[in-house]
Amino acid sequence: MNHEAKIIQQARENSNAAILKADAAGVAQYWMDDIVVISGEGGQYAGKKVLLEVFKDMFRNDPPVFERLPSEITIGDSGVLAWETGKWNYKTEKFRGNYSAMWRKIKGKWLTQSELFVSLD
């Protein structure tokens, strides 16, 4: 795994750790302002502000614990875009599936531009 892919993998690990602590801001630090997420059941969320509120609400009462486990991270030839794919699962519920994420390097920092989750329960 090259250096840039390791940076993205560390960001994902940090994001998973923030979820474990129910720290919405810790998760959001890796999102672009215009992030787009399709959740496992097909819900659509556009924008960091909207998604941050979703996470705050989710963490407010009996926060779920889930993680994303990358199986592949590919850095584009330009060094600006990256593709991540892997599996996701809840540790507190019976939901699981596959995901992919698009990362963009902005001012030297990798941020998530979009994520697609597919539930496979």
Architecture per CATH, domain 3-119, reads as: Roll (3.10)
pLDDT at 92: 87
Strand ordering across the sheet containing 96-106: 44-46, 31-38, 109-119, 96-106, 81-90, 66-75
CA distances for 78 relative to 13, 52, 56, 82, 109, angstroms: 24, 30, 35, 9, 15
Q: In whole numbers, what is the pLDDT of the chain averaged over residues?
A: 96
The DSSP line for 8-75 is: HHHHHHHHHHHHHTT-HHHHHTTEEEEEEEE-TTS-EEESHHHHHHHHHHHHHSS---EEEEEEEEEE
Residue 61 — φ and ψ, nearest 5°?
-120, 120
Q: Is the pTM of this model over 0.85?
A: yes
pLDDT in tens, 25-66: 999 999 999 999 999 999 999 999 999 999 999 999 888 899
Q: Where are the domains of the chain?
A: 3-119
